[in-house]
Structure 1
Amino acid sequence: MRQAIAPPDSAGERVDRFLAAAIGSLSRSRVKALIEAGAVSRDGTPVADPAEPVRAGARYAVVIPPPVDAAPLPQAMPLTILHEDRHLIVLDKPAGLVVHPAPGNLDGTLVNALLAHAGDDLPGIGGEKRPGIVHRLDKDTSGVMVVAKTELAHRALSEAFAARDLDREYVALAWGLPNPVAGEIEGAIGRHPTDRKRMAVLTGRDAARGKPALTRYATERAWGAGCALLRCRLATGRTHQIRVHLSQIGHPLVGDPVYLRRVPAASRTLPPETREGLLAFPRQALHAATLGFRHPATGEPLRFASPLPADMAALLALLDADAG
Structure 2
Amino acid sequence: MSGVQHREVASGDDGMRLDRWLRSQFPGVGFAHAQKLIRSGQIRVDGGRAKADTRLEAGQSIRVPPLADAPARKKSPAEALSSEDHKFIRSLVIHQDDRVIALNKPPGLATQGGTGVRAHVDRLLIGLQGRHDERPRLVHRLDRDTSGVLLIARDRAAAASLTKSLKSRHARKIYWALVRGVPAGEGGRISNFIGPDAATRGETQCVLHQGEPGAVHAVSRFSLIDRAGTRVSWVKLEPETGRKHQLRVHMAHIGHEVLGDRRYLDVQNWEAPGGLEEGLYLHARRIILPHPSGGTLDVTAAMPEHMAHGFQLLGFDETLADASEPEDLSVRR
TM-score tier (shorter)? 0.7 to 0.9
- 1:303 equivalent in structure 2: 298
- 1:194 alignment partner, SS class: helix
CA contact (8 A) 2:18 2:51 kept: no
Q: Which runs of 5+ in 1 are unaligned?
A: 4-21, 125-129, 268-273
Output the amino acid matched with 1:48.
K
| 1:200-219 → structure 2 map (5 Å cutoff) | 200-203=206-209, 206=212, 209-219=214-224
Q: Tell me how far apart the structure 2 counterparts of residues 165 and 70 of structure 1 sit (CA, whole Å).
A: 37
Output the amino acid matched with 1:28.
G
Q: Give the alignment's TM-score, normalised by structure 1.
A: 0.75
Q: Give the alignment's TM-score, normalised by structure 2.
A: 0.73
- 2:314 equivalent in structure 1: 319
Tell me how far 1:120 sits from its aligned partner: 3.6
Answer with 308-317 or 212-221: which moved more: 308-317
Instruction: Judging by fraction of residues, say which structure has more helix.
Output: 1
- 1:47 equivalent in structure 2: 50
Q: Tell me how far apart the structure 1 counterparts of residues 180 and 269 of structure 2 sit (CA, whole Å).
A: 7
- 2:13 alignment partner, SS class: coil
CA contact (8 A) 2:93 2:102 kept: yes
| 1:29-178 → structure 2 map (5 Å cutoff) | 30-31=17-18, 33=20, 37=35, 38=38, 41=44, 44-48=47-51, 50=53, 61-62=61-62, 71-73=77-79, 74=81, 75-78=85-88, 79-107=91-119, 109-116=120-127, 118-121=128-131, 123-124=133-134, 130-178=135-183
Deviations 1:123-171 (A, max 9, x none): 22xxxxx320011111111111111121121121112112242221000
Q: Tell me how far apart the structure 2 counterparts of residues 179 and 76 of structure 1 sit (CA, whole Å).
A: 46
Q: In structure 2, do the counterparts of structure 1 residues 212 and 151 end up closer, same or farther at CA, with 3 Å as the change threshold?
A: same
Deviations 1:284-315 (A, max 9, x none): 2001111112221x212121112332211222
CA contact (8 A) 2:7 2:63 kept: yes
Q: In structure 2, do the counterparts of structure 1 residues 25 and 223 end up closer, same or farther at CA, with 3 Å as the change threshold?
A: same
Q: Tell me how far apart the structure 2 counterparts of residues 115 and 221 of structure 1 sit (CA, whole Å).
A: 41
Q: In structure 2, do the counterparts of structure 1 residues 80 and 43 end up closer, same or farther at CA, with 3 Å as the change threshold?
A: closer
Output the amino acid matched with 1:314.
H
Output the amino acid matched with 1:47.
A
Tell me how far 1:70 sits from its aligned partner: 5.8
Q: Tell me how far apart the structure 2 counterparts of residues 231 and 288 of structure 1 sit (CA, whole Å).
A: 10
Q: In structure 2, do the counterparts of structure 1 residues 99 and 146 end up closer, same or farther at CA, with 3 Å as the change threshold?
A: same
Answer with 23-32 or 195-204: which moved more: 23-32
CA contact (8 A) 1:122 1:150 kept: no
Percent same amino acid among aligned pairs? 26
Q: In structure 2, do the counterparts of structure 1 residues 205 and 42 end up closer, same or farther at CA, with 3 Å as the change threshold?
A: closer
Deviations 1:228-273 (A, max 9, x none): 10001111111111001001111110000111123464x4xxxxxx
Cα root mean square deviation, aligned: 3.2
Q: Tell me how far apart the structure 1 counterparts of residues 63 and 48 of structure 2 sit (CA, whole Å).
A: 13
Q: Tell me how far apart the structure 2 counterparts of residues 161 and 190 of structure 1 sit (CA, whole Å).
A: 20
Q: Tell me how far apart the structure 1 counterparts of residues 46 and 224 of structure 2 sit (CA, whole Å).
A: 63
- 2:330 equivalent in structure 1: none
- 1:189 alignment partner, SS class: strand
Q: Which runs of 5+ in 2 are unaligned?
A: 1-5, 23-33, 317-333
Output the amino acid matched with 1:275.
P
Residue 26 in 1 paired to residue 13 in 2? yes
